[in-house]
Structure 1
Amino acid sequence: MHEMSIAEGVIQLLEEQALAQQFSRVKKLWLEVGPLASVDTASLQFCFEAVSRHTLAEAAVLEIIETPGLAWCLGCETQVGIRQRFDACPDCGSYQLQVIQGDELRVKELEVD
């Protein structure tokens, strides 16, 4: 379950930013997670609650924003939606797809004190 290490990494990032930007508590956190990031969002939510105890993010609300997966199809030269890596193009069936969006896992916004 790599979601635990992801949650720990988020806490570490928050602590680094708290020092740099001089805040003491995180009230709300928005994370963008794409379907190609291979993250189980329910597990990430659970892990974040566990690792945030006794930290500046204790009792913080974690909002997960799920972004769509998008790829550029070299076969039909169009942008298409995908749900997982190695999907075929839904328009032409080609497997020559370049991922444009959907593999992100990033902090989008914070609400802090």
Structure 2
Amino acid sequence: MMDFGALPPEVNSGRMYSGPGSAPMAAAATAWNSLAVELSSAARGYEAVVTQLSSEEWMGPASATMAEAVAPYVAWTGAAATHAEQAAAQARAAAAAFETAFAAVVPHR
């Protein structure tokens, strides 16, 4: 980890004001959030279809086998959605931390 306290203020200020800013992290947060929404929707959709098939339209041993086979995928999709939500939150936090630091650094002239 870099010790910014060991660098001259002009170096830190120059880096803060010449870099890309928080926009890439904000964009990443938006992308992760979109992925989380899609994965969550897919998991709910699979669950609904399997429930409908196995309880209303397709009953019996084959139905039970299909439901058991798809269960790990539905669980994985739901877990991936949760991880994507966490990644979005972390990216938002990183963008906010940058903005806080940026506001505290005097512009380099």
More helix by share: 2
Q: Which has the larger radius of gyration?
A: 2
TM-score (norm 1): 0.26
Structure with more of its chain in strand, by fraction: 1
TM-score, with length taken from structure 2: 0.27
Structure having greater relative contact order (Cα 8 Å, sep ≥ 6): 2
